[in-house]
Amino acid sequence: MISADKYELYPGKPHPIGASIDRDKGGVNFCLYCDESVFFVELLLFKQHDDLQPDQVIRLDPLVHRSFYFWHIFIKGLPESSYYAYRVDGPYQPQRGHIFDKHKVLIDPYAKGISRSLWRREDACRPGSNLHTSMRSCIVPLTDYDWQGDRPVNHPLNESIIYEMHVGGFTRSPSSNVKHPGTYSGLIEKIPYLQKLGITAVELLPVFEFDDSHARYVNGRKLVNYWGYSTVSFFAPHSGYCVNPHAAGPVDEFRDMVKALHKAGIGVILDVVFNHTDEGNHLGPVYSFKGLANDSYYFLVEQSKKFYFDYSGCGNTFKCNHPICEKFIIDCLEYWVSDMHVDGFRFDEGTILARDENGTLVAHPPVVWGIELSETLADSKIIAEAWDAGGGYLVGSFPGHRWAEWNGVYRDDVREFVRGKPGMLGVLAGRISGSADIYQDQNELPSNSINFITVHDGFTLYDLVSYNHKHNHANGEDNRDGADHNRS
């Protein structure tokens, strides 16, 4: 034991990763993965989410608190629901992929809660301290919640009718007549409406913590990140959809929503984005993965590792089949099933999960098969968007066998039939009877095909029967964004 001003400090252990409460021992174990070249790690402890200064700074001794590439410490007496962050020092060699900054405050990738109350993005985009404008991770007690016997619903895929939904937008209009518009709580109030639709599951557009404060201006109008497809923290529910955004509020409010939907017989599928993160390219902010192990977590351009290879079309690409990234993704999914009771996942640009560490599409990508074979995920729906922005297209050939796929061919052929293209009757028959031409040669089933007409990409159903061409002008992208081939 090492004495400290406020707490008793012990070496801790290198598992599990993240901040783990141990009530038997009366404290919290912290564990963090870092690149092997790191010089030191500092743990910053805060009493409140908006404290400008840490209550205590603990520098971890590599001879005591390091096991290979894991840094760890056990703090006895630390209050639950405390806030924390890290500072990590190592070589600054951008051409070799090292961009360590000992002054930059970093959140824990495994944090179950995040506070953005002080967050100022621009300060994380430049070198130097951002202590007063950084995010903080939150220690969240997970075992006190009363699930009242709740279990995932898990309707069979071949009996599933999936309703894609944006939590923030679903009840934002005053016409929704809910007490808390744009929240998990507001969604609960609309469950009777969802039951009337006859659906078996909602597929929630991203609900992992994202930066909805990041704004730009178009013709004097403030535009913020609405969709949530650039994830900040993968284990933390988005606090912007909460009535109480601090401490355990987001976790409990998300669980309340899941429990209520399950009580109504409606499953919960999450749209998850593991193909890239919100840290962006070399001009983007440093607040997590970049400052811990940049070359482990991201595809970097070999000739100059200052730059990020972009298979996602979003600035960077998560190196999903690096061992630490594979573990991170599977740990994350298992957490959302075990501790949050979700019923399944839809993987945005899922083809990136099939790329090896060189970016090559392979038949047996470890993370894809790890998800397929996980016993914790065995009853969960796993659905791939089987293409990416790097040209990877695997509809009908996505690795694994129980993975379902968004069938973009079904979407296009049904649209062509409805708009009267000649010769489509036989094609339509093949689509609505299971797309055997796509799946049968792979020894897969009709249930491997997720059949859809419209989703959040491209035209909405209203657009599809109203316009010949897209009209995306209000967002300042000059109508370049979104699909051009809508077959309206």
Q: Determine whether 443 is exposed, middle or buried from the number of CB atoms within 10 Å of its CB (0-12, 13-18, 19+).
A: exposed
Active site residues: 348, 385
In 238-380, the DSSP E strands lie at: 267-272, 344-347
**In contact, 162 and 404? CB cutoff 8 Å:** no
- Cis peptide, bond prior to residue 285, ω within 30 of zero: no
CA atoms lying within 13 Å on the CB side of residue 344 = 26
Strands 40-46 and 83-93 turn out to be antiparallel
CA atoms lying within 13 Å on the CB side of residue 18 = 24
**In contact, 385 and 274? CB cutoff 8 Å:** no
CA 109 vs. chain centroid, Å, equals 11
Dihedral angle at the C-alpha atoms of 300, 303, 304, 308, nearest 10 degrees?
A: -30
Least Cα distance to 235 among 271, 269, 207, 267 occurs for: 207
User: Can you spell out the DSSP letters for 66-133?
Assistant: EETTEEEEEEETPPTT-EEEEEEEEEEEGGGTEEEEEEEEE--TT-SEEE-TT--HHHHTSSS--GGG
Cα radius of gyration rounded to whole Å, the chain: 23
Tell me the one-letter amino acid at 271: D
Q: Which residues pair with 406 in a beta bridge?
A: 450
